Amino acid sequence: MDKHSFFSILDKYQDGTASPAEKALIEEYYRRLEKAGTIELSGEEEAALKEAMYKQIATNLEEPKATIIPITRKNYSSVAAAAVLLMVIGAGSYFWLLKKPAPPVAQTKTSNIKPQDLPPGRDAAILTLADGQTIILDSANGTISQQGGATVVNNNGKVSYANTSGNNSQPAVVYNKVSTARGNQYQLVLADGSKVWLNSASSLRFPTSFTGNRREVELDGEGYFEIAKDASKPFHVKTKTQDIEVLGTHFNVNAYSDEDATKTTLLEGSIKMKPEAGGQGSEKSVVLKPGEQAVIAANTPLSAHHSPFTINHSPDLEKVMAWKNGWFEFDETDIKMIMRQISRWYDVDIRYETKTNNEKYGGRISRNLNLSNILKMLENYGLHFKLEGKTLTVIK
């Protein structure tokens, strides 16, 4: 059995579909990894140990049937050599620190604080109609409005727009907005059949019907798009820093204002991008191919002579799409970036009563877990937390 098959079984374990025998073998693999964390090893010694563990366990596994994986899976054998302690909890989640754990320290009063708990986020959003009326989408079901020639229907975590004006009429262009608060996510289907998934603390402004020769929406935050093909009407997604032109494709846009960059990642098709700032540098457009990511660093000055885009030709697609697939995915991620994601999904404000360090963390955590499960993982690496109402404080 090759390593790809072995890690496919590891994915089955995380998804909860492994057989009892496969589950037992994978848990033994985790147990040995954790035991190795108590031993002082060099990077080469640890790599050799993991290889030996793999060979010993893999010989007892049957070859699984081939599975089709839509996006690149993370190579679990490529965890940094210094990550010698791996923690596993329920729902297929795991976590590691990309350095050897610090020696135990004396217990302090704060380290014994047991945080309160918060549930994970859910499907909910606010729909703002053209006249300013707002509708809570987690409670309304069925037809909820008529907007500019479109019927608005909400059902089981998804709002959709159906064009009812007929092909020969041109309805007035009116705009709606779907907004997700922290702790919420939502899906919508636009009048042309395009699908959009909104992450927490995000919003999409869009016309209820697309007229003329252009389809255009405005995104704030993060969204994943599956655009209906229509060569006669290019689709545009506008953020504060860019204009994305699409004919029909699948892509993700992360445009949170509190992140250090705006990242647009293409999974399928082709998109053309240009800066969005009063026309400056607008001729410096780029075209992305599937599997590429365009990055604009925050506060990048736009110039008519230089493109603000940096192209990543091999982004981690699984990490990009983790939020939509129900995961947090970290890879050499610092604590502040982790806390920003926790803030959005669990609707908490983050405070620091300690200086943050340069330690990097990695792992996959289910977004269906309570907040206490994630904090428990981080506490194994010397961090401690205090939750008071909607404020989560990071302490030492």
CA-based nearest residue to 374, from 347, 333, 338, 348: 338
The model carries a pTM of 0.74
CA-based nearest residue to 295, from 317, 321, 315, 323: 315
Give the integer Cα–Cα distance in Å for 364 and 323.
11
Give the integer Cα–Cα distance in Å for 164 and 70.
35
CA-based nearest residue to 307, from 296, 293, 292: 296
Residue 38: partners with Cβ closer than 8 Å, 6 or more residues away: none
When pLDDT is cut at 50, 70 and 90, the band that residue 74 belongs to is very low
DSSP 3-state of 372: helix
In which residue ranges of the chain is CATH 2.60.120.1440 found?
122-320
Mean pLDDT for the stretch of residues 112-130: 80
Q: How many CB atoms lie within 10 A of CB 197?
A: 19
Q: What is the mean pLDDT of the chain?
A: 77
| pLDDT of 325 higher than 60 | yes
Give the integer Cα–Cα distance in Å for 79 and 65.
25
Least confident of 109-118, 125-134, 371-380: 109-118
Percentage with pLDDT > 90 across the chain: 40
C-alpha distances in Å from residue 27, one per residue of 3, 20, 93, 223, 245: 17, 11, 12, 35, 46
CATH of domain 122-320: 2.60.120.1440
C-alpha distances in Å from residue 179, one per residue of 18, 43, 361: 38, 47, 31
Q: How many CB atoms lie within 10 A of CB 223?
A: 26
**Are 206 and 175 contacting, i.e. CB atoms less than 8 angstroms apart?**
yes
List, in sequence order, every residue forming a beta bridge with 263; answer none if it has no partner.
Answer: 254, 295
Q: What is the pLDDT of residues 232-260, one digit of tens each?
A: 899 999 999 999 999 789 999 999 999 99
Look at the block and give the residue holding tokens 């059902």.
Answer: 155
Structure token pair of residue 350: 């983050």
Residue 103: partners with Cβ closer than 8 Å, 6 or more residues away: none
Structure token pair of residue 125: 């959003």
Give the integer Cα–Cα distance in Å for 346 and 185.
11
Mean pLDDT for the stretch of residues 10-27: 70
CA-based nearest residue to 29, from 66, 76, 78: 76
Give the integer Cα–Cα distance in Å for 14 and 91.
7
Residue 289: partners with Cβ closer than 8 Å, 6 or more residues away: 266, 270
Mean pLDDT for the stretch of residues 331-359: 90
CATH of domain 110-119+326-357+372-395: 3.55.50.30
Structure token pair of residue 255: 């445009």
In which residue ranges of the chain is CATH 3.55.50.30 found?
110-119+326-357+372-395
Q: What is the pLDDT of residue 20?
A: 73
Structure token pair of residue 50: 């993991």
Give the integer Cα–Cα distance in Å for 113 and 115.
6
As a whole number of Å, the CA-based R_g of the chain is 23
CA atoms within a 13 Å half-sphere pointing along the CA-CB vector of 145: 22
Q: What is the pLDDT of residue 221?
A: 97
Pairing assessment for the beta strands 184-189 and 122-123 based on DSSP bridges: parallel
Q: Look at 342 and 77; give whichever has higher pLDDT.
A: 342
CA atoms within a 13 Å half-sphere pointing along the CA-CB vector of 32: 15
Give the integer Cα–Cα distance in Å for 297 and 175.
30
Mean pLDDT for the stretch of residues 215-221: 97
DSSP 3-state of 137: coil
